[in-house]
């Protein structure tokens, strides 16, 4: 069971925002279903929460029970003072800005859900997960908790084109930009995607985790059919093997094609293998040996081998993990 609480707040009396409800709507749409249309998260979306008490209750309900994954996403104002950080609610007042980040983390830390995920698009959100002790910042993230925030503890978060900058990149990542070859999108992959997109002069995302495994946040249609990836161990006996090629693998090397032919001529079986090898090359798992293109590796009877990431997938297939 996977559940997600999605909160967006624009409705601040003295300092309204204009993209947070848009953020919540879009993130909800991306998390409800996987890329193939299958169910993903049971989403509860709440816009313009008015009070700190209401927000706290929603967060407590999100992390209650024993779900496999409980996710809390927030887009709205953030605040930080000498005590800590806050998710600001419209009922804020000086000295009482909203729900404290420490309370949010305590609720998640105490949750019996297997994986607890907190994603914040708000100013100073990087404060979440640390306390200041004797002038040093100490992590207090419980087991199974992962935090992804839009900015460091000293940085504001930017809105552009009706969305938070961070959430715009998060949405691109969830649409498939952060997917691995098998179509899985993890929080680690999302962080890497966002981190690369933001330059050194822009707000910097923060990723903190205390988990023993990465959970897929969403699955999309993979770049290559999984059955082809599973054939890696069939084509390569060992992860460092070189698969010999010859002209019989190249589908244009037949008498029907009007160009110079080389024996052995193309065979149906080898053409099928070669087509899969070219797909594996296309996603960075295979490279030709001593040639720039797979065509010449075949026509010149060279070979192909696994890349570093290809070897990783070979190991996963070899031990039955894919």
Summarize pLDDT for 89-106 with one digit per residue, the tens. 999 998 899 999 999 999
Q: What is the pLDDT of residues 207-253, one digit of tens each?
A: 999 988 888 999 999 988 999 999 999 999 999 999 999 999 998 87
What's 203's domain CATH number? 3.40.50.1460
Residues 174 and 217: beta-carbon distance below 8 Å: yes
Same domain, 59 and 190: yes
Residue 163 has pLDDT above 90, yes or no: no
Give the chain's domain count: 2
171-196: burial string, b at 16+ Cβ within 10 Å, e else: bbbbebbbbbbbbbbbbbbbbebbee
Residue where one domain finishes, among candidates 169, 197, 219: 219
Provide the domain limits for residue 182: 2-219
Same domain, 199 and 280: no
Residues 301 and 248: beta-carbon distance below 8 Å: no
Same domain, 44 and 9: yes
Determine which of 36-45, 129-138, 245-254 has the lowest per-residue pLDDT on average: 129-138
Determine which of 47-61, 74-88, 145-159 has the lowest per-residue pLDDT on average: 145-159
Same domain, 138 and 19: yes
pTM assigned to the model? 0.83
Same domain, 94 and 239: no
Q: Which two tokens stand for residue 4?
A: 């997600």
Same domain, 201 and 238: no
Residue where one domain finishes, among candidates 219, 248, 264: 219
Same domain, 102 and 231: no
Same domain, 143 and 82: yes
Residue where one domain finishes, among candidates 219, 248, 271: 219
Residue 48 has pLDDT above 90, yes or no: yes
The alpha carbon of residue 223 and the mean position of all alpha carbons in its chain are separated, in whole angstroms, by: 15
Residues 220 and 35: beta-carbon distance below 8 Å: yes
Same domain, 19 and 146: yes
DSSP conformation letters of 196-223: HHS-TTS---EEEEE-SSPPEEEE---S
Same domain, 282 and 171: no
Same domain, 30 and 175: yes
Residue 302 is predicted with a pLDDT of 95
Q: Which two tokens stand for residue 13?
A: 């009396």
Rounded CA-CA distance 144/112 in Å is: 9
Same domain, 295 and 198: no
DSSP H helices in 145-289: 165-172, 187-197, 226-230, 232-235, 268-282
Residues 49 and 59: beta-carbon distance below 8 Å: no
Backbone angles phi, psi at 291, to 5 degrees: -140, 155
Comparing C-alpha atoms, which of 99, 86, 77, 91 is closest to residue 15?
77
The alpha carbon of residue 126 and the mean position of all alpha carbons in its chain are separated, in whole angstroms, by: 18
């Amino acid at each position: 069971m996977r559940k997600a609480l999605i909160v967006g707040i624009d409705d601040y009396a003295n300092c309204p925002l204009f993209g947070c409800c848009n953020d919540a709507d879009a993130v909800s749409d991306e998390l409800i279903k996987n890329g193939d249309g299958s169910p993903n998260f049971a989403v509860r979306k709440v816009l313009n929460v008015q009070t700190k008490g209401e927000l706290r209750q929603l967060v407590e309900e999100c992390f209650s029970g024993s779900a496999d994954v409980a996710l809390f996403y927030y887009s709205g104002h953030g605040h930080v003072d000498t005590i800590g950080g806050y998710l600001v609610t419209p009922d804020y007042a000086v000295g009482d800005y909203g729900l404290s980040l420490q309370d949010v983390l305590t609720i998640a830390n105490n949750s019996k859900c297997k994986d607890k995920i907190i994603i914040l698009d708000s100013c100073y959100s990087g404060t979440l997960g640390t306390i200041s002790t004797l002038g040093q910042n100490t992590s207090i993230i419980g087991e199974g908790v992962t935090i992804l925030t839009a900015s460091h503890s000293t940085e504001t978060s930017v809105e552009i084109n009706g969305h938070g900058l961070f959430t715009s990149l998060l949405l691109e990542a969830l649409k498939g930009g952060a997917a691995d070859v098998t179509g899985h999108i993890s929080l680690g992959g999302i962080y890497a995607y966002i981190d690369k997109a933001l330059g050194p002069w822009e707000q910097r995302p923060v990723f903190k985790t205390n988990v023993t495994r990465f959970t897929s946040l969403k699955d999309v249609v993979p770049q290559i059919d999984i059955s082809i990836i599973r054939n890696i161990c069939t084509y390569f006996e060992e992860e460092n093997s070189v698969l010999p090629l010859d002209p019989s693998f190249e589908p244009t090397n037949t008498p029907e094609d009007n160009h110079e032919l080389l024996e052995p001529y193309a065979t149906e079986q080898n053409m099928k293998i070669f087509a899969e090898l070219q797909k594996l090359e296309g996603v960075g798992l295979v490279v030709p040996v001593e040639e720039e293109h797979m065509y010449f590796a075949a026509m010149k009877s060279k070979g192909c081998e696994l890349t570093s990431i290809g070897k990783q997938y070979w190991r996963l297939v070899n031990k039955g993990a894919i």
